[in-house]
Amino acid sequence: MTESRKHSGPASGFSRRAFLKGSGAVAAVTALHGQQAVAEQNQEDTTLVRGATTISLNVNGKSHQVKVEPRTTLLEVLRHQLDLTGAKPVSMDGSSGASTVWVAGKTVMASTTLALTCRDKEIRTVESLGGANPDAVPLAFVKHDAEQCGFCTPGFVVAVRAFLDKNPQATEEQIRQGLNGNICRCGTYANIIQAAIDLVKGGGNG
C-alpha cells in the first residue's frame, strides 16, 4: 500500500486534511467545451489529454513510442502499433479473458484498459513467454495439447502463468477454481487442467 496513516473511525470523522494533503495548488481546469485542442495539459494535481498524443509504453522490457487517443485501448495499441497480436479481441466487455496481459504485475484485460492509463507501467504480453527459450507454461500447453483453434490460448497461457506464480503448489481443486476468467469455445479445459497439474508437479514454475 502506498501510504500509511492513522484514521479515526467514520463516526468521529477521520481527518479530511490528511486526505486532501497536497491538493491546495490545483489550477483551474478549463471547461469541457469550446476549448482549444490541446494534446496534453499537466497541472500539479491533474493531467488532461484531448485528441491524439504520443506516449511511451514499456512493453516486454522495451520502450515504444505510440500514438494514442484517450479512447485507444491497450489492446488496440499492442495489436495495431506493436504487432503484438497474442492478446485477442473476443468480447466487448472483457468477459472472455482473451486479452489478458500484465500491467504493473497485475493480470488485466487489455480490451478494457485505456492505453493512457498504462504510461510508466511495465506491460508484459504473452509474447514475453515465447521466443527462443519459451516459458514452461506454453510448453506444457503443447505437451498436453491444451489448445485447439488457439484463439483463446494466449490469454489462457498468461492466466495459467499468473495463477501458478501466485499458487506454485496449487492442488487440482485450486486449479479448477482459479482459472475461470477465460473462455475457450473449442473445449480445451480438460487439457489445460492437466497442463497446470503437470506444471505444479514438474516444478515448471520458475
Query: CB 145 → another protein: shortest distance, Å?
Result: 5
Q: Is 100 in the site for another protein (CB under 8 A)?
A: yes
Q: Which of 34, 92, 133, 206 binds another protein (CB under 8 A)?
A: 92
Would you say 66 and 55 are in contact if contact means Cβ atoms under 8 Å apart? yes
Does 69 bind another protein (CB under 8 A)? Our answer is: yes
Q: Applying CB under 8 A, does 197 fall inside the site for another protein?
A: no
Residues 3-42 that bind another protein (CB under 8 A): 3-14, 16, 18-24, 26, 28-29, 32-33
- Give yes or no for residue 60 binding another protein (CB under 8 A): no
Asked if 76 is part of the footprint of another protein (rule: CB under 8 A), the reply reads yes
Q: Which residue has the cell 495489436?
A: 79
How many Cα atoms within 13 Å fall on the side-chain side of residue 188? 26
Neighbours of 83 (CB within 10 A): 8
Query: What is the closest distance, in whole angstroms, from the C-beta atom of residue 63 to another protein in the complex?
Result: 20
- If you write DSSP's letter for every residue of 93-142 in order, what string do you get? TSTT-TTEEEETTEEEEGGGSBGGGGTTSEEE-GGGG-SSS--HHHHHHH
Interface of this chain with another protein, residues 114 to 173, rule: CB under 8 A: 114, 116-117, 125-127, 129-131, 134, 137-139, 141-143, 145-154, 157, 159, 162-163
Q: Are 98 and 182 in contact (CB under 8 A)?
A: yes
